[in-house]
Amino acid sequence: MSPLENPKVTRMIILGPSANISQSELVRKLHMMELPLTIKSTCYGAAVSGDEEIVKKAIEDVRALDPYNIFSKDRGFPPGDPRRCRAKRGGAREGFHQLEREFELLDAVSNALEHPQKVSLKKAKKVSPEEFKEIAEEN
């Protein structure tokens, strides 16, 4: 079967700065699920690769461990791919710097997810000249 007929997907699981589990615990939990997945421990968390449905299930189960501090995103290249893997190429993997930058915000993101606040998407209206005049005259 060609990869196009049976596409394998790869997802990165990223632990937020306040996550209550470590990378090794995360990988152990993933192994304990006994799902047919390729699991790779990484500096940010783990990368999992396998059939789409199975990967999705693994992500859902892992997220349940710490819903506000475990993040996930798709990855194009499979784990350990020599075209991307740091071990073969040397230097930081493409995408690492972006991840590093977004990681700085993850603590605030998890805090916002845990404590949602009501906000309005409407833009603030401009003050009309008449209204402005009234305000100016009042003072």
H/E stretch holding 40 reads: strand 38-41
Helix (H) or strand (E) holding 57: helix 52-63
**Smallest gap from residue 25 Cβ to other proteins (A):** 20
The single residue among 75, 80, 85, 86 that binds other proteins, judged by CB under 8 A, is 75
Q: What is the residue whose two structure tokens read 């209550």?
A: 20
Options 32, 87, 121, 124; binder of other proteins; rule CB under 8 A:
121
Number of residues that bind other proteins (CB under 8 A): 40
Evaluate whether 27 touches 41 at the Cβ level (below 8 Å): yes
- Residue 65 as a binder of other proteins (CB under 8 A): the answer is no
Give the residues across from 12 on adjacent strands. Answer: 47, 73
Q: Choose, by CB under 8 A, the member of 78, 80, 85, 86 that binds other proteins.
A: 78
- Decide: helix, strand or coil at residue 66: coil
DSSP annotation string for 77-103:
SPTT-TTT-HHHH-SPPTTHHHHHHHH
Q: For other proteins, which residue of 102, 131, 133, 135 counts as binding (CB under 8 A)?
A: 102
Shortest reach from residue 133's CB to other proteins, in Å:
32
- Which residues in this chain contact other proteins in the complex, by CB under 8 A? 2-4, 7-10, 12, 14, 71-78, 81, 83, 94-95, 97-99, 101-102, 105-109, 111-113, 116-121
